[in-house]
Amino acid sequence: MERITIYEAQKCTSPNPITLVCAQMPDGGTNLAAISWWTYLANKPPMIGFAISKRSYTGELIEQTKRAILSIPGEALKESAFRCGCVSGRVVNKAKEFNIEMAKGFPVHSKLAFVCSLESMLEVGDHIFYACNVEEILYNPDEKQLYCWDGYKRLGTL
Ligand SMILES: Cc1cc2nc3c(=O)[nH]c(=O)nc-3n(C[C@H](O)[C@H](O)[C@H](O)COP(=O)(O)O)c2cc1C
């Protein structure tokens, strides 16, 4: 076996999951960030967790509101969900700019939506890991789920 970097390992484990982490902004709107690093943590009670860069606006909003919705985006959001990972909500209202139709705080074209409350946080290098209680899970069987391909280069279905 050969030694490789973490970036190369992440390409090897692709396709990776993709979510849009939805967090409420002070003006009542919703900020959307493309986040691949999420995982289930427990079934009893249902818990999930995700790691977000310390520099992100999303982390700041979750710490203020103690809430987030994790949306698994459907195929209609192939381009726009990727764009949510390329710019900060500090400078752009992403839902508005990228024409993402929203309802009840998350994109209409979601395959799944995990409605969460913040349980605890852990500093992990240059990221913060947010462990959350899942209060409700909503499912739309008609949406085709997106994944990250070639590491985190593009989104597409399986
Ligand atoms: C496909 C993809 C996956 C990403 N996954 C993560 C991730 O797991 N954690 C993270 O901190 N940033 C991730 N990013 C980068 C954030 O989405 C990006 O920094 C975003 O601008 C943060 O937005 P915010 O400042 O509005 O919170 C990803 C970007 C892309 C394109």
The string of pLDDT tens digits covering residues 9-38 is 999 999 999 999 999 999 999 999 999 999
pLDDT in tens, 135-158: 999 999 999 999 999 999 999 999
Burial of 133 (0-12, 13-18, 19+ CB in 10 A): middle
Separation of alpha carbons 86 and 125, rounded Å: 21
- The rounded distance, in Å, linking the Cα atoms of 54 and 123 is 9
Q: Ligand 1 center to residue 42 CA distance, Å? A: 24
Q: Whose CA is nearest to atom 7 of ligand 1?
A: 35
Measured from the Cα of 152, ligand 1's closest atom is: 1
Q: Which residues line ligand 1 (CB under 6 A)?
A: 18, 31, 33-37, 51-53, 56-58, 82, 85-90, 127, 148, 152
Contact partners, residue 97, CB within 8 Å, separation at least 6: none
CA of 33 to the centre of ligand 1 (A): 6
> Per-residue b/e over 98-122, b at no fewer than 16 CB within 10 Å?
bebebeebbbebbbbbbbbeebebe
Please state the length of the chain: 158
CB atoms inside a 10 Å sphere around CB 134: 18
**Model confidence at 121, in pLDDT bands (50, 70, 90)?**
very high
Distance 1 CA to ligand 1 centre (A): 31
- Residue 55: left if φ>0, alpha if ψ -120 to 50, beta else—which one? alpha
Question: pTM for this one?
Answer: 0.97
